[in-house]
């Protein structure tokens, strides 16, 4: 599969000769103002392109990226910005999980003062939920179901080996590509198993274990296994969890 091609922009300066001491009509004055505005816009675009070039150069330097990621605290972040940076760092640490976890291609803006972290991930055709919706049970061979299930189990096992809980396992966080690659994503809610400030009510309620919903209730990797079981049932039935109930809400 051929991924999206990079966007290349070329800005060419056209010399403008504006004579002084020449009487300008109203139309000429308006045209001159338009030229000045256009030149300012070109300068702004060049500054933006230079910023993009700097970002690309930053994440191409793997050693520098690894050193930056190591500086991010492993403890649970308290604000949204640090949560994003922590997610990027953990995804990098997972290293693709032998092909079963989404791989971080690069990142920039992860230092302590940056307010604009950027992460680069591979393109995937869709998620498991979309796959199950677009294919009937009869059209999905048993070995395909087994392969998808095996990939998710292997990925989650890798997360747990690093003493983390995923906390948001569901079919929307399983990506499937046209070459049959299956990866687990959605690491934004991952936390350390030893975190003493574990938040309840995190994740999609259809896949959540009961203990993760109760306030003040601590939970372990067994909560992830519950969510995994819901996904496995989903793979077999092509239905969302609790779809047999008339009022799931």
Q: What is the pLDDT of residue 199?
A: 58
> Is residue 17 pLDDT above 80, yes or no?
no
Assess contact for 206 and 172: CB atoms under 8 A.
Answer: no
pLDDT in tens, 140-198: 999 999 999 999 999 999 999 999 999 899 999 999 998 889 999 988 888 887 764 45
> Is residue 232 pLDDT above 50, yes or no?
yes
Q: How confident is the model at residue 72 (pLDDT cuts 50, 70, 90)?
A: very low
Q: What is the pLDDT of residue 216?
A: 59
- The rounded percent of the chain whose pLDDT value lies above 90 is 33
> Is residue 13 pLDDT above 70, yes or no?
no
pLDDT in tens, 101-110: 999 998 888 8
- The rounded percent of the chain whose pLDDT value lies above 70 is 69
Mean pLDDT score, 50-75: 52
Assess contact for 114 and 216: CB atoms under 8 A.
Answer: no
> Is residue 19 pLDDT above 90, yes or no?
no
User: Helices 62-70 and 26-60 sit at what angle, rounded to 10 degrees?
Assistant: 80
Residue 184: which residues within 8 A CB-CB, separation 6 or more?
A: 97, 100, 101, 102, 151, 152, 155, 156, 159, 166, 169, 173, 174
CB atoms within 10 A of CB 232: 15
Q: What is the pLDDT of residue 8?
A: 35
Residue with tokens 């966007």: 7
Query: Domain 62-237 class?
Result: mainly alpha
Say which range, 28-42, 61-75, 147-161, 221-235, has the weakest mean pLDDT: 61-75
Mean pLDDT score, 118-144: 92
pTM over 0.75: no
């Amino acid at each position: 599969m051929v991924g999206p091609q990079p966007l290349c922009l070329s800005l060419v300066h056209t010399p403008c000769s504006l004579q002084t001491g020449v009487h300008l009509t109203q139309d000429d004055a308006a045209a001159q103002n338009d030229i000045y505005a256009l030149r300012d816009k070109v300068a702004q675009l060049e500054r933006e392109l230079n910023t993009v070039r700097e970002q690309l150069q930053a994440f191409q330097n793997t050693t520098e990226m690894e050193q930056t990621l190591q500086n991010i605290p492993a403890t649970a972040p308290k604000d949204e910005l640090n949560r994003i940076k922590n997610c990027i760092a953990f995804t990098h640490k997972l290293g693709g999980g032998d092909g079963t976890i989404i791989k971080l291609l690069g990142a920039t803006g992860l230092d302590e003062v940056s307010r604009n972290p950027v992460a680069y991930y591979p393109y995937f055709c869709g998620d498991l939920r979309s796959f199950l919706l677009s294919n009937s049970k009869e059209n999905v061979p048993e070995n395909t179901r087994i392969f998808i299930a095996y990939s998710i189990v292997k990925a989650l096992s890798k997360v747990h080996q690093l003493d983390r809980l995923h906390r948001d396992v569901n079919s929307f966080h399983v990506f499937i590509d046209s070459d049959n690659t299956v990866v687990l994503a959605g690491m934004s809610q991952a936390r350390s198993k030893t975190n003493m400030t574990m938040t309840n009510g995190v994740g999609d309620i259809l896949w959540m274990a009961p203990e993760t919903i109760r306030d003040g209730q601590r939970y372990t990797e067994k909560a992830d296994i519950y969510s995994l079981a819901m996904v496995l049932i989903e793979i077999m039935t092509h239905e969302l969890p609790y779809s047999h109930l008339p009022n799931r809400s």
